[in-house]
Amino acid sequence: GADLKERAKMHSSEVSSFVSRARATINELANLPVPTIAAIDGTALGGGLELALACDIRVAASSAKMGLVETKLAIIPGAGGTQRLPRTIGVSLAKELIFSARIVDGEEAKSIGLISHVVKQNEAGDAAYRRALALAREFLPQGPVAMRVAKLAINQGMEVDLVTGLAIEEACYAQTIPTKDRIEGLLAFKEKRPPRYKGE
């Protein structure tokens, strides 16, 4: 999250600019055309959780601490938290967590759908990071164009009705048809070998 000691020294006009830049940066992360995974091994409060919410997948250690705690400071999440948390865990529960400024651990975060995976923390303190790497290794062999347009179809489709979402999916699927990677995938399947995708 933000450095609150630094924030206390900022003029009110500086705060708006700071939050606006944070929001823009977090939106850029959300819009990256590749899968993103947040590994939470420690604390993700306020802006830290907003950053994690902008990722496609979140993994946390059971001992991790997460929360949008801004209401304790008489402000609200300003870098996407009021929009991404409800879309992740549902409106009512998001309101409860934001209104109470509650901090949850990895186990509770998993039970409410805030994270996809919870792992027991290891001695090195990097259990979530290791699990995130394992997930990334599962994603890596897939066709790069397919990964990009699948993310686009999911992200855009979640913001519209089903009929419009299906049209978005159709348009995204169409982008994969003329690719060399699609032909490579079919050949690799036929020849019983791993595909060698080039993102073309």
Say whether 167 is catalytic.
Answer: no
In degrees rounded to 5, what are phi and psi of residue 146?
-60, -40
Q: Mind listing the pLDDT tens digit of every residue in the chain (200 residues)?
A: 556 666 566 677 777 788 889 899 999 999 999 999 999 999 999 999 999 999 999 999 999 999 999 999 999 999 999 999 999 999 999 999 999 999 999 999 999 999 999 999 999 999 999 999 999 999 999 999 999 999 999 999 999 999 999 999 999 999 999 999 999 999 999 999 999 999 99
Catalytic site residue from 1, 22, 38, 47: 47
Say whether 2 is catalytic.
Answer: yes
Query: What is the per-residue pLDDT for 7?
Result: 58
Answer yes or no: same fold for 4-140 and 144-191: no
- Of 3.20.20.140, 1.10.12.10, 3.40.640.10, 2.40.128.20, the CATH number of 144-191 is 1.10.12.10
Query: What is the per-residue pLDDT for 20?
Result: 86
- Tokens, residue 170: 């159709």
66: enclosing H helix or E strand: strand 65-67
Rounded Cα distance, 72 and 166, in Å: 41
Catalytic site residue from 1, 44, 48, 50: 50
Structural domain boundaries of the chain? 4-140, 144-191
Quote the distance between the C-alpha of residue 70 and its chain's center: 20
Say whether 22 is catalytic.
Answer: no
Catalytic site residue from 1, 2, 60, 67: 2
156: enclosing H helix or E strand: helix 144-157
- Of 3.30.1380.10, 3.90.226.10, 3.40.50.620, 3.90.245.10, the CATH number of 4-140 is 3.90.226.10
Catalytic site residue from 70, 128, 132, 143: 70
Say whether 50 is catalytic.
Answer: yes
What is the maximum alpha-carbon separation in the chain? Answer: 65
